[in-house]
Amino acid sequence: MRSFGRWLLWILLAGVALQVFFVARIALMAVVDPASTAFMRSEAWRTAGSSRESDKLWKWSHQWVDDAQISPHLKRAVIASEDAGFTDHRGVDWAAIEGAWQKNERRQQLAEKRAARQPEKPASEPKIVGGSTITQQLAKNLLLSGERQLLRKGQELVLTLLLEALLDKQRILEIYLNSVEWGEGVFGAEAAAQRYFNKPASRLSPHEAARLAVMLPSPKFFETRQGSAYLARRTGTIVARMGAVSLP
Residue 138 has what pLDDT? 94
pLDDT in tens, 204-236: 999 999 999 999 989 999 998 888 899 999 999
What's the rounded Cα separation, in Å, for the pair 144 and 119?
40
pLDDT in tens, 116-147: 566 555 544 444 445 689 999 999 999 886 55
Instruction: Assess contact for 69 and 200: CB atoms under 8 A.
Output: yes
User: Coil, strand or helix: which one is 121?
Assistant: coil
Beta strands, E only, the chain: 61-62, 186-187
Over the range 53-82, which residues count as b (16 or more CB within 10 Å of their CB) and which as e? Answer: eeeeeeeebbebbeeebbbbbbbbbbbbbb
Which residues are paired to 187 by β-bridges? 62, 181
Residue 51 has what pLDDT? 57
Instruction: Assess contact for 76 and 242: CB atoms under 8 A.
Output: yes
- All domains of the chain, ordered by start, with CATH? 37-86+168-248 (1.10.3810.10)
Sites in the chain below the pLDDT cut of 70: 1-2, 4-5, 48-58, 94-131, 145-150
Residue 125 has what pLDDT? 46
